[in-house]
Amino acid sequence: MFIIFAILEQILTHISFSIISIVIMIHLINFSVYENQRIHNLSVKGMIATFFSITGFLIIRWISSGHFPLSNLYESLIFLSWSLSIIHMIPYFFNQKNDFSTITTPSVILTQGFSTSVLSNEMHQSAILVPALQSQWLMMHVSMMLLSYTALLCGSLLSIALLVITFRKNIDFFLKEMKHFYEKEGLFLNFYKYQLIQRLDYWSYRVISLGFTCLTIGILSGAVWANETWGSYWNWDPKETWAFITWAIFAIYLHIRKNSKCQGQSANSAFVASIGFILIWICYFGINLLGIGFHSYGSFPLIYKH
């Protein structure tokens, strides 16, 4: 039975990676050569198929291992890809233009490619949970943290794009699609720039708000878990400290963004979000690479937690 599960996991992993590779090619053709609605619909269906393939992998891994599949780096990256595919589909639920596709699609293929091609085969195997991880809080805490990382990374990248477009003099490359449409109406290029900046600001604010909420839940659930495991809600562990710093940075972002009334203040909040982008990677990879603190269970290649 274990062999069957392992084979199914490999099949679903390769299917999802193959589909997302095709979706990348479709996006390149759609953007660089010509835009076709049928081709665009294929990319949407491809992301949906990728989502279900990764979902199938997570379910099979969950059944075969007996615990929620977040025990090592490989599983966390697969879960990150799954979360990115969800973020990708959010605009379609609101019948709005998908500004996430240029961020989420490459991010999914990078995480999928790194997890399947770079990590060793040992990392692909489901590990037995150490005693500290054998808790009902594993699913709640780690999933919330990874969902927050996903949303905050996407929102931060949108904010970085906002900064680039705001301060870049030549933006024809980014605004090609809108420019061709509005030139027929005799409008100015500044209007295209304004429209795109407004969309980026709109979505970055909402995605970061979602990520901030998940991060808050993740930190609180982690504190309860820490009290059960180590007898204290907060130990100023490196992972906890950097998670708190990240939380504070995005709290500052939300404060500035909520009180912004002009484009300049939106750029200020976007700058804060770009700092948060770096902090997220410190929380996700940096602390585990150093192998210090309560959140380092063994060496980095063997066990990995959020």
What's the pLDDT score for residue 305?
41
State if pTM tops 0.85: no
**Of 162, 54, 55, residue with least CA distance to 111:** 54
pLDDT tens for residues 43-102? 778 888 889 999 999 999 888 888 888 877 888 888 999 998 888 887 777 666 666 677
5-11 long-range contacts, CB within 8 A, separation 24+: 5/60, 5/61, 5/63, 5/64, 6/64, 8/56, 8/60, 9/57, 9/60, 9/61, 9/64
Segments of the chain with pLDDT less than 50: 169-174, 177-179, 181-188, 298-306
Distance CA 178, CA 98 (A): 14
What's the pLDDT score for residue 196?
76
**Of 149, 161, 15, 10, residue with least CA distance to 84:** 149
What's the pLDDT score for residue 246?
95
**Of 33, 17, 35, residue with least CA distance to 85:** 17
What's the pLDDT score for residue 96?
62
**What is the CB neighbour count within 10 angstroms for residue 239?**
23
**Structure-token pair, residue 177:** 């699609």
Distance CA 258, CA 251 (A): 10
Give the C-alpha distances (Å, rounded to integers) separating 45 from 21, 40, 42, 88: 13, 9, 5, 12
Distance CA 153, CA 150 (A): 5
**Of 203, 78, 105, residue with least CA distance to 151:** 203
**Structure-token pair, residue 242:** 């950097």
**Of 253, 245, 259, residue with least CA distance to 204:** 253
Give the C-alpha distances (Å, rounded to integers) separating 242 from 18, 155, 296, 306: 35, 19, 14, 13
**Of 190, 287, 294, 288, residue with least CA distance to 236:** 294
211 SS3 class: helix
What's the pLDDT score for residue 190?
59
What's the pLDDT score for residue 245?
94
What's the pLDDT score for residue 182?
46
What's the pLDDT score for residue 147?
93
